[in-house]
Amino acid sequence: MMKSYLSVRQVVQRLNGAVSVKLIYRLVAQGKLRCNRRLGKLLIEEDSLVDLLEPRGPPPPPEEPPPPRRPRGRPKKEKLELW
């Protein structure tokens, strides 16, 4: 089976201009879109675009909340009232 490739501008057109060219390059740099460089052009694999838009497989597990933070410094002493 032969892979099909799209130029960066074709990806933007396919998404009806909802994303910028800069975002496509950022997604490639993050590894979220697979690509090849040919003749000085960045060619995006069409399958990786489909996978990005319609993820397959089980959903990712929910993120756990961060642990509670301890206050900085020494605990304050309680004032004693004599009267």
Model confidence pLDDT, tens digit, residues 6-17 = 999 999 998 888
44 and 7 Cβ atoms separated by less than 8 Å: yes
Residue 19 identity (one-letter amino acid): V
Mean pLDDT of 15-36: 91
pTM of the model: 0.62
Q: Could you please report the per-residue DSSP string of the chain?
A: ----EEEHHHHHHHTTT-S-HHHHHHHHHTTSS-EEEETTEEEEEHHHHHHHHS--SSPPPPPPPPPPPPPSSPPPPPPPP--
DSSP state of 27: H
